[in-house]
């Protein structure tokens, strides 16, 4: 019989009674060196410090008729190596059972006297992890840390994104005599160091409620900087077909109204607002904070030069180019020839330049005109006041017409 045993904190006291009995009855014990150093009394001396599946299988093949215990820290079902080994053992015909242990989630919750059923559980141990996206999507996030992602580094990323005021607590060496719990704000814990065996819990305040694109114009901090109006913003986001994980650019971001809408539509993505006007940059930062759009990054500079270092976009909105439309479109399509692109223009000359630039790249431009009128009261009357028409230019891969067309 092969027993995969969760050893909890690694101390004998955190073993379940069933796990303890299986461990003491095993003729061969396999596991990480740290776990083998804390075996309970009554265990065999036939122990080998291995943890990789291929190493474990080799040991089992060398002692085929021996009841074996394979040890894992924490619980066998929570980001455990047991998940890889179990199907291999079953495929090879071994008789195997899984005996769970106490997870670091349970140990932290017990240490602080809190329920954990509402926590989002995330592993930052040897896995790609975006703490900002996770915390924006969930009010309580538990991070299993390790390797390069420590509690301090995760808190530093949150602080850099504007989430430094989130409440944080770190559990070190949970379930052992060296257990310690530290509380603070994310920005405070970002400056501290922690034991290698640590976990992190982040709790943020409630964010403003999210809604479909097209926030009211007066919801934004505006100043004297031009702003893309509500109806145009809603149409632009529909044209861009934004998905939650997109990487997005807003070139010529102005007040940041489109940038904010993009950030809210892609909570697990990243938005880069490119703007060269210092006054507009201040407004972008203010609107970012007002709407808690922490996945929005301001890039202060002039396009196309400011675009060079940005990650490849899935979709791009161009609201202004300072006369560099050709160069900006070239830069965008160089980064991603299949990008979803939407360009706003109010002047016929800008429309003409944009269509010509797209055509030069073999793209067919689709132009939509949006003409919005809003009521204005005059005594007992309601008059329609027209806004300047706006053109939205999007592009499709150009295909030559068939002979039948």
Q: Are residues 167 and 138 in the same domain?
A: yes
Q: Is the dihedral of CA 331, 334, 338, 339 positive or negative?
A: negative
Instruction: Give domain status of residue 273, yes or no.
Output: yes
Q: Are residues 133 and 55 in the same domain?
A: no
CATH number at residue 189: 3.30.950.10
Q: Are residues 164 and 289 in the same domain?
A: no
Among 177, 203, 229, the domain-final residue is 203
Q: Are residues 188 and 249 in the same domain?
A: no
CATH number at residue 62: 3.40.1010.10
Q: Are residues 378 and 229 in the same domain?
A: yes
| Cα separations in angstroms, 303 against 209, 328, 363 | 33, 6, 21
Instruction: Give domain status of residue 271, yes or no.
Output: yes
Q: Are residues 184 and 245 in the same domain?
A: no
In 3D, which of 113, 112, 130 has the Cα closest to residue 122? Answer: 130
Q: Write down the pLDDT at residue 210.
A: 72
Domain count for the chain? 3
135: exposed, middle or buried (Cβ count in 10 Å: 0-12, 13-18, 19+): buried
Q: Are residues 193 and 301 in the same domain?
A: no
**CB-CB neighbours of 389 under 10 Å:** 12
Q: Write down the pLDDT at residue 270.
A: 94
Q: Are residues 62 and 191 in the same domain?
A: no
In 3D, which of 47, 41, 38 has the Cα closest to residue 9? Answer: 38
Q: Are residues 7 and 139 in the same domain?
A: no
pTM summary value: 0.73
Q: Are residues 374 and 390 in the same domain?
A: yes
Q: Write down the pLDDT at residue 272.
A: 98
Q: Write down the pLDDT at residue 396.
A: 60
Instruction: Give domain status of residue 223, yes or no.
Output: yes
Instruction: Give domain status of residue 402, yes or no.
Output: no
> Containing domain of residue 174, as a range?
105-203
Among 102, 125, 154, the domain-final residue is 102
Q: Write down the pLDDT at residue 401.
A: 46
Q: Write down the pLDDT at residue 54.
A: 94
Q: Three-class SS string for the chain?
A: CEEEEECECCCHHHCCHHHHHHHHCCCEEEECHHHHCCCCCCCCCCEEECCCHHHHHHHHHHCCCCCEEEEECECCCCCCCHHHHHHHHHHCCCCEEEECCCCHHHHHHHHHCCCCCCCEEEECCCCCCCHHHHHHHCCEEEEECECCECHHHHHHHHHHCCCCCCEEEEEECCCCCCCEEEEEEHHHHCCCCCCCCEEEEEECCCCCCCCCCCCCHHHCCCCCCCCCCHHHHHHHHHHHCCCCCCEEEEECCCCCHHHHHHHHHCCCCEEEEEECCHHHHHHHHHHHHHCCCCCEEEEECCCCHHHCCCCCCCEEEECCCCCCHHHHHHHHHHHCCCCEEEEEECCHHHHHHHHHHHHHCCEEEEEEEECCEEEEEECCEEEEEECCCEEEEEEEECCCCCCCC
- How far is the C-alpha of 54 from the C-alpha of 356, rounded, in Å? 59
Q: Are residues 34 and 160 in the same domain?
A: no
Instruction: Give domain status of residue 209, yes or no.
Output: no
Instruction: Give domain status of residue 315, yes or no.
Output: yes
Instruction: Give domain status of residue 211, yes or no.
Output: no
Q: Are residues 60 and 199 in the same domain?
A: no
Among 181, 203, 225, the domain-final residue is 203
Q: pLDDT per position in the chain (405 positions), as tens?
A: 999 999 998 888 889 999 999 999 999 999 999 999 989 999 999 999 999 999 999 999 999 889 999 999 999 999 999 999 999 999 999 999 999 999 999 999 999 999 999 999 999 887 788 899 899 889 999 999 987 889 999 999 999 888 999 999 999 999 999 999 999 999 999 999 999 999 999 999 887 777 788 899 999 998 888 899 999 999 999 999 999 999 999 999 999 999 999 999 998 899 999 999 999 999 999 999 999 898 999 999 999 999 999 999 999 999 999 999 999 999 999 999 999 999 999 999 999 999 999 999 999 899 999 998 889 999 999 999 888 899 999 986 544 444 444
Q: Write down the pLDDT at residue 161.
A: 87
Instruction: Give domain status of residue 349, yes or no.
Output: yes
């Amino acid at each position: 019989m092969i027993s995969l045993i969760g050893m909890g904190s690694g101390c004998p006291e955190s073993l379940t009674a069933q796990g303890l009995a299986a461990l003491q009855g095993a003729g061969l014990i396999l596991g990480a060196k740290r776990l083998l150093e804390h075996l309970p009394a009554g265990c065999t001396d036939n122990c080998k410090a291995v943890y990789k599946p291929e190493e474990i299988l080799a040991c089992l093949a060398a002692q085929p008729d021996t009841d074996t215990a394979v040890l894992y820290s924490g619980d066998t079902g929570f980001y455990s190596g047991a998940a890889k080994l179990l199907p291999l053992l079953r495929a090879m015909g071994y008789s195997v059972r899984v005996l769970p242990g106490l997870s670091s989630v349970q140990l932290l919750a017990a240490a602080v006297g809190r329920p954990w059923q509402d926590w989002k559980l995330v592993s930052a141990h040897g896995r790609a992890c975006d703490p900002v996206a996770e915390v924006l999507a969930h009010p309580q996030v538990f991070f299993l840390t390790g390797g390069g992602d420590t509690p301090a580094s995760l808190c530093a990323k949150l602080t850099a994104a504007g989430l430094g005021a989130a409440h944080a607590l770190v559990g070190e060496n949970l379930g052992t005599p060296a257990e310690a719990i530290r509380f603070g704000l994310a920005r405070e814990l970002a400056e501290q160091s922690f034991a290698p065996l640590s976990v992190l819990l982040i709790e943020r305040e409630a964010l403003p409620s999210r809604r479909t694109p097209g926030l009211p114009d007066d919801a934004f901090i505006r100043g004297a900087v031009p702003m893309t109006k509500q109806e145009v913003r809603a149409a632009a986001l529909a044209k861009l077909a934004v998905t939650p994980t997109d990487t997005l650019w807003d070139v010529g971001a102005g007040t940041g109204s489109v940038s904010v809408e993009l950030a809210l539509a892609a909570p697990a993505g990243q938005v880069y607002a490119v703007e060269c006007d210092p006054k507009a940059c201040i407004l972008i930062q203010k609107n970012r904070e007002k709407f808690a759009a922490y996945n929005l990054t301001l890039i202060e500079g002039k396009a196309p030069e400011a675009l060079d270092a940005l990650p490849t976009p899935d979709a791009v909105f161009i609201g202004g180019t300072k006369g560099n439309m050709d160069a900006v479109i070239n830069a965008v399509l160089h980064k991603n020839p299949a990008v979803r692109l939407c360009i706003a223009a109010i002047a016929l000359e800008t429309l003409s330049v944009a269509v010509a630039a797209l055509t030069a790249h073999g793209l067919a431009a689709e132009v939509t005109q949006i003409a919005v009128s809003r009521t204005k009261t005059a005594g007992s009357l309601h008059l329609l006041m027209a806004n300047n028409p706006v053109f939205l230019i999007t592009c499709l891969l150009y295909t030559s017409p068939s002979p039948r067309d």
